[in-house]
């Protein structure tokens, strides 16, 4: 029997954390509220079979030209183990409802956990695989993340790091770098300092930030939920780096990070990251998610340095399955794909 999807409005019924271990932060209710603050429409569904919830789906709408849009479920839907086949068939109905009578050109699914084996084959028959050219759009979640098992002693975590990372952590301490952990209730008070480092990083490394309101919403929602903290690395009171960490489903997620262009030889980013890992472990997280990394030369231009930084803290690769699309207008869909391929 296939699942049946129902649209839900509030957080009470939308609980991806109850379906799998380490659900993605991008399918949490809070993440949807961040997106709303950036001016995007958000819709949420739950898949029910036999009276029990077996899937959760959060769709975010992104604008295109001429008043068109597309809907994307970042690392979603979240599907309970063994329910993949029934959920795949039911998702086709959801997609048709989303594009029917609306301006959505297509709907994109991005399953968690990643699909493998028979489930991957069934999804490939039910949907179209997202073209590679469209993997590089700003809204698309990376095809690989880097995660660290925290169920080990600190000494073992240090031994698992690259020797240059251990050196940088210790050098930061020797050179007088101090770290500060800011708890959730105080997050809004430190927003301006954090955002200033984000702006400096974006200007230096050549990437675009979300609107300021998006980050403000992340701080505001997280402060209310009590599920986040901020780490600053400083030298003689001057901020060197800031890392924003959010807990969800037993996992600590390194969501945003910024650093100063000055005094890079003090290794402030290494000190902030190590403090964040230790704090996450103390607070009960059993996995630390560094976020996206590049796994080949085409995945994310300019990510090579950041990916190397994350890998050198130890951990393992979390690879995601392909995107799966359902097109509403084939003409608009292929025009979008062609445009991205040319870009």
Q: What is the pLDDT of residue 298?
A: 47
**Overall average pLDDT of the 224-237 stretch:** 95
**Overall average pLDDT of the 5-17 stretch:** 94
Domains of the chain: 4-141+321-342 (3.40.630.30), 145-319 (3.40.630.30)
> 185-196 burial, b if ≥16 CB within 10 A, otherwise e?
eebeebbeebbe
> 287-317 burial, b if ≥16 CB within 10 A, otherwise e?
bbbbbbbbbeeebbeebeebbebbbbbbbee
pLDDT tens digit string along 76-88? Answer: 999 999 999 889 9
Enumerate residues 6+ apart whose C-beta is below 8 A from 314: 148, 157, 160, 161, 162
Q: What is the pLDDT of residue 65?
A: 85
Count CB-CB contacts under 10 A for residue 7.
Answer: 12
Residue 142 near residue 279, CB atoms below 8 Å: no
- Lowest-pLDDT choice from 137-141, 239-243, 278-282, 296-300: 296-300
Percentage of the chain lying above the pLDDT 70 cut = 97
CA pair distance 230, 18, nearest whole angstrom = 26
**Overall average pLDDT of the 34-63 stretch:** 93
**pTM reported for the whole predicted model:** 0.93
What is the torsional sign of CA 110, 23, 33, 269? negative
pLDDT tens digit string along 131-184? Answer: 888 887 778 899 999 999 999 999 999 999 999 999 999 999 999 999 999 999
Hunting for tokens 């955002």 — which residue is that? 195
- Lowest-pLDDT choice from 32-36, 78-82, 90-94, 142-146: 90-94
CA pair distance 141, 293, nearest whole angstrom = 10
């Amino acid at each position: 029997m296939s699942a049946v999807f129902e649209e839900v409005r509030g957080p009470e019924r939308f609980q991806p954390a109850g379906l799998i271990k380490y659900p993605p932060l991008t399918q949490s209710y809070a993440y949807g509220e961040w997106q709303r603050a950036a001016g995007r429409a958000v819709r949420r569904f739950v898949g029910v079979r036999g009276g029990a919830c077996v899937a959760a789906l959060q769709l975010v709408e992104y604008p295109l030209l001429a008043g068109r849009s597309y809907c994307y479920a970042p690392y979603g839907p979240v599907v309970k183990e063994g329910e993949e086949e029934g959920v795949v068939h039911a998702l086709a109905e959801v997609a048709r409802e989303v594009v029917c009578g609306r301006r959505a050109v297509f709907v994109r699914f991005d399953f968690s956990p990643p699909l493998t084996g028979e489930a991957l084959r069934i999804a490939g028959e039910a949907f179209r695989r997202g073209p590679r050219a469209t993997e590089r759009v700003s809204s698309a979640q990376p095809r690989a993340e880097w995660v660290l098992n925290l169920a080990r002693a600190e000494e073992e975590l240090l031994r698992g790091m690259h020797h240059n990372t251990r050196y940088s952590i210790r050098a930061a301490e020797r050179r007088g770098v101090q770290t500060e952990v800011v708890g959730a209730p105080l997050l809004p008070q430190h927003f301006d300092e954090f955002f200033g480092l984000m702006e400096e990083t974006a200007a230096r490394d050549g990437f675009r930030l979300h609107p300021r309101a998006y980050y403000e919403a992340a701080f505001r929602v997280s402060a209310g939920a009590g599920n986040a903290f901020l780490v600053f690395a400083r030298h003689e009171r001057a901020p060197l780096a800031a890392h924003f960490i959010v807990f969800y489903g037993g996992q600590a997620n390194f969501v945003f990070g910024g650093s100063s262009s000055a005094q890079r030889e003090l290794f402030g980013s290494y000190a902030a990251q190590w403090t964040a890992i230790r704090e996450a472990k103390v607070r009960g997280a059993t996995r630390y998610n560094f976020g996206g990394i590049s796994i080949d030369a085409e995945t994310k231009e300019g990510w090579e340095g950041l990916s190397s930084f994350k890998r050198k803290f130890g951990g393992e690769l979390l690879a995601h399955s392909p995107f799966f699309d359902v097109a509403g207008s084939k003409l608009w869909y292929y025009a979008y794909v062609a445009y991205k391929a040319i870009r």
